[in-house]
Amino acid sequence: MTHDVIALAQALIQRESVTPEDAGCQQMMNDRLKAVGFNIESLFFTDTLNTWARKGTQSPHFCFAGHTDVVPTGPAQNWQHPPFSGLVKDGMLHGRGAADMKGSLAAMLVATERFVAKNPDHKGSISFLITSDEEGPFINGTTRVIDTLEARGEKIDMCLVGEPSSRDVLGDVVKNGRRGSLTGFLKVKGIQGHVAYPHLAQNPIHLSSEAITELSQTVWDEGNEFFPATSFQVSNINGGTGAGNVIPGELEIQFNFRFSTEVTHEQLQARVNAILQKHKLNYELSWIVNGLPFITEHGPLVDATVSAIKSVTGLTTNLETTGGTSDGRFIAQTGAKVIELGPRNATIHKVDECVSTDDLIALADIYEQILENLLT
């Protein structure tokens, strides 16, 4: 007999919810949440379906957050098994979203059903914030739901995002924060000309080289006990006409900071401008703040999670802030304590994405124990 967590994960995987499509995943979850006492709100913004489901009105308010959308599969013939089959073979559940993050959604829901059945009069509130645009432009998903909640004064106290945080074995890593992400788009202007007459032109590639070197070698901060030092990386450079005998008139450079709580994005922007001006460049610069850093220190949420992992797996987990960004950054800005805990991330976004069925079953046990630790 298939375990309830695995059966639900299979059913979710079999829905082709490539971002920003939800393909009925949220309705499937909502029907089960409504059956155990949740009030369901469907919030649709432009092209994105979101769910806000809540049981209870009191504090502490604990939220499970996640996404039903998945990244594209690429050519299906490259997969060992059809990417939306949800096939279980040799103890592994296969399919796009198995690890990121339909497996976590199934574990969250089943854990909540079991917890509510055992504790119908539990204290506080439980909610689910589910979106279908986390893998896309993240414009009309979690951030818009948070805006809606903030406008009506509805606060989340603690949030667990089901992103695949584990590295080698289930529960070995919990993300208790994330670095900020800041992207710069730099255009350096020169004067186009013939390579044989450089005195009649200004080569923006040559003009920019010392500034880029200085930016890449600058120590922006030293980090702290939770975060590594802020990093600067050039990701794209584009200049030239394609002809070998033309000095380009413009150079376009894209770069990114992953930054700690030791520095603000405003400070980084100011320091970059100072370096560019020091090198007397004629430039235009625009910015996108992809996310601000956040940290959840030891307290009820972290302690409940560490204890639950120890109880179910025997592991002493590691708290880390490495990796990219997640929707947790939008929730953390409201003052909520946020962590990320999910299955192993070894196959996420890859061909033949898969997850251990034993891990998903254990993950549901961990999630249920977290609810027990916090709300009983």
Q: Which amino acid is at 223?
A: G
Distance CA 336, CA 59 (A): 12
Place of tokens 């930054």: 259
Question: Using H for helix, E for strand and C for coil, what is the string for the chain?
Answer: CCCHHHHHHHHHHCCCCECCCCCCHHHHHHHHHHHCCCEEEEEEECCEEEEEEEECCCCCEEEEEEECCECCCCCHHHCCCCCCCCCEECCEEECCCHHHHHHHHHHHHHHHHHHHHHCCCCCCEEEEEEECCCCCCCCCCHHHHHHHHHHCCCCCCEEEECCCCECCCCCCEEECEECEEEEEEEEEECECEECCCHHHCECHHHHHHHHHHHHHHCCCCCCCCCCCCCEEEEEEEEECCCCCCEECCEEEEEEEEEECCCCCHHHHHHHHHHHHHHCCCCEEEEEEEEECCEECCCCHHHHHHHHHHHHHHCCCCEEECCCCCCCHHHHHCCCCEEEECCCECCCCCCCCCEEEHHHHHHHHHHHHHHHHHHHC
Listed in sequence order, the residues at least 6 apart from 225 whose beta carbon sits closer than 8 Å to its beta carbon are none
Spatial separation of the C-alpha atoms in residues 260 and 295, rounded to whole Å: 10
Catalytic residue among 21, 22, 69, 327: 69
Catalytic annotation present for 121: no
- Report yes or no: 198 and 247 within 8 Å, Cβ to Cβ: yes
Q: Which of 21, 100, 133, 134 is catalytic?
A: 134
Active site residue 353: no
The residues assigned a catalytic role are 69, 134
